[in-house]
Structure 1
């Protein structure tokens, strides 16, 4: 069960909120799109909103975006299943290497030069985390816009919903 925190404790731009906004948009899309097969071969409008989000690999129809967005939602909710076993195996190898490195470092006396290098590595980890967190939040925002846009386009194709939807 998810604990609800008062709004004053949560950040509008937190990763958690970005994921929830994306998942909510995809859930809304999924509930709105009753016949996903109707999305096949329906091209996406080349408007500013979507053209900035398209990559060279995109197939360019609404059905491919629908499937992509649902797949990403599943990955967020359940983890990446396809490569889960490989990743666990790699993590285990990395973890055992890290443990042996830590024991080697702890058994040797560290010079002040080594202390400085370790501090720089810690700073690099923090910078890497912040960089990737910012990137992930940006990607989730774009994906949320895609899900909302697809829902709007589906309604337009069926002639339902007002122009403000």
Structure 2
């Protein structure tokens, strides 16, 4: 189990803390849900918040969502290991090689310093955009894990315990 660190007020919205909150919520869900099969055929629609992340591929029950949340936790803790990620990495290397050879040939052209500053500014904007998006998604997933935990407690009749 991952150690939960106390949050300093200025770190409340850090990515690290958002990931920690999500992992903690999924760990709590995993410890609470002693019989995951009881979640089968329990529809997500009864919980308004949980249906927002349901995709067409989902079976539409709490069990599939339980598995999804655990899978996302595993990806955060261990990284994404799949053929598609390896393929994207290889493609990224090809593109980087192509860009570096193209930049060598064009380095004698227009002011490359201005281009680099634009790229750096663009990278910073991209990073901030994706960071904000990731924190928002982690916040929603944390709420989903907590909702699923509470729903499970209600389903098995211990709705008032540990709240």
Distance 1:144-1:6 versus aligned 2 partners, 3 A rule: closer
Q: CA RMSD in A?
A: 2.8
Q: What corresponds to 1:117 in structure 2? A: 115
Q: How many Å separate the matches in 2 of 1:6 and 1:104? A: 51
Q: How far apart are 1:45 and its partner, in Å?
A: 4.4
Unaligned runs of 5+ in 1: none
Aligned residues: 161
Q: What corresponds to 1:128 in structure 2? A: 126
TM-score (norm 1): 0.81
Distance 1:28-1:124 versus aligned 2 partners, 3 A rule: same
Q: How many Å separate the matches in 1 of 2:5 and 2:148? A: 31
Answering whether residue 42 of structure 2 is matched by residue 42 of structure 1, we say yes
Q: How many Å separate the matches in 2 of 1:38 and 1:10? A: 41
Distance 1:40-1:148 versus aligned 2 partners, 3 A rule: same
Q: How many Å separate the matches in 2 of 1:101 and 1:44? A: 51
Q: How many Å separate the matches in 2 of 1:101 and 1:77? A: 37
Distance 1:94-1:152 versus aligned 2 partners, 3 A rule: same
Distance 1:74-1:60 versus aligned 2 partners, 3 A rule: same
Answering whether residue 149 of structure 2 is matched by residue 148 of structure 1, we say no
Residue 11 of structure 2 aligns to a residue whose secondary structure is coil
Q: What corresponds to 1:94 in structure 2? A: 95
Q: How many Å separate the matches in 2 of 1:101 and 1:9? A: 46
TM-score (norm 2): 0.82
The answer (yes or no) to whether the contact 2:4–2:20 under 8 Å persists in 1 is no
Q: How far apart are 1:56 and its partner, in Å?
A: 4.7
Residue 28 of structure 1 aligns to a residue whose secondary structure is helix
Q: How far apart are 1:4 and its partner, in Å?
A: 9.3
Q: How many Å separate the matches in 2 of 1:51 and 1:124? A: 35
Q: How many Å separate the matches in 2 of 1:98 and 1:155? A: 54
Q: What corresponds to 1:25 in structure 2? A: 25
